[in-house]
A = this chain, B = another copy of it.
Amino acid sequence: MKLSTLKEGGRDGTLIVVDKQLEKAVRVPEIARTFQQALDNWQDTGGKLQEIYTALNNDPGLPGSFPLDENLLAAPLPRAFQWVDGSAYVNHVELVRKARGATMPENFWTDPLMYQGGSDSFLGPRDDILTQSTEWGIDFESEVSVITDDVPMGISPRGAAKHIKLFMLVNDVSLRNLIPAELGKGFGFFQGKPATAFSPVAVTPDELGDAWKNETVHLPLITHLNGELFGKPDAGVDMTFNFSKLISHAAKTRFLGAGTIIGSGTISNLDRSQGSSCLAEKRMLEILAHGKPKTPFMQFGDRVHIEMLDNEGKSIFGRIEQEVKQYHAPEE
């Protein structure tokens, strides 16, 4: 099943069911007005939404259906009660540290890195990345994320798997030049992580077919920068902590409410031939190879596209397509 949200009807938008081909959609106010409402009552709504999805796929003229325009979509959850992002591709973390001459603590291979992200206003898949200054080092991070239902505190990784309900792609926009000073203060990311963007649709695990195994998505995540292929590392390779382990880590000392989004962190393969999922990694590889980076961070007008294709070459989530634009702060 594929679900998304139209930018209409208020801050949380309007939930729609989207067909498998991403060609048409239908509103479902009789089941849930918003995506969060559907998640709040997933045991009741999940099956009903699935029925609409099946009907939409089978009947080209389903009453109320209309052509899907990805430009009219918000993030599937335009705002959420929780967004946490892991850094599950530990080889990426090790690389970043290596480039600055630091070793990585051994427990990074066993104890997940995770940060609490801002979830009050996400970017839709076609929304501009608004930033005041390119001096801040604007970067994308292509990731996969899951949406959970209610997760009990203290859940084991084994118990966590069944709480994974949906998937989205993520552009975890980062301001690289703000991050070192911010992390140096010890309280983690804040200004270095502006609004995060999500793919046009969220999909249930069955949409991934055989690619979903061991709580890992075994498909390349494809990033283009200004129309050129930037990277297509496989999200199923070198994921040190699968989604079950990330959920268990997040729930160690608290309950996770329905609609919690948990990200994988930047997809990164030890085999660097497939490219990267963020500029920072490419720059680190350049530093290691040539002593200094040559790829700049994003400039105003730069465009990033993020997409995942199934084994037949069809887009699963639709495409994140964003452009960096300058933002001017209010006078007062």
A250-293, CB < 8 A from B: 250, 252-260
Query: A79-B257, A108-B185, A116-B118 in contact; A190/B250 too (CB < 8 A)?
Result: yes
Q: 11 pairs across A/B with beta carbons < 8 Å? A: A80-B81, A82-B118, A82-B120, A115-B116, A119-B119, A132-B153, A153-B329, A154-B328, A155-B329, A188-B189, A191-B253
CA distance A39 to B155 in the complex (A): 34
In the bound complex, residues from chain B placing their C-beta under 8 Å from that of A119 are: 81-82, 119
In the bound complex, residues from chain B placing their C-beta under 8 Å from that of A121 are: 81, 254-257
Q: Is the CB of B188 within 8 A of A188?
A: yes
Report the nearest B residue to A327, measured CB to CB. Answer: B153
A107 nearest CB across to chain B (Å): 8
Q: Which residues does A use to contact B, with CB under 8 Å?
A: 10-11, 40, 79-82, 84, 87, 105, 108, 111, 113-121, 130-132, 136, 152-156, 158-159, 175, 178, 183, 185-195, 249-250, 252-260, 327-330, 332
Report the nearest B residue to A156, measured CB to CB. Answer: B332
Q: Is the CB of A330 within 8 A of B152?
A: yes
A62 nearest CB across to chain B (Å): 30
Which one of A178, A183, A332 has the highest number of Cβ atoms from chain B below 10 Å of its Cβ? A332
CA distance A330 to B115 in the complex (A): 25
In the bound complex, residues from chain B placing their C-beta under 8 Å from that of A252 are: 191
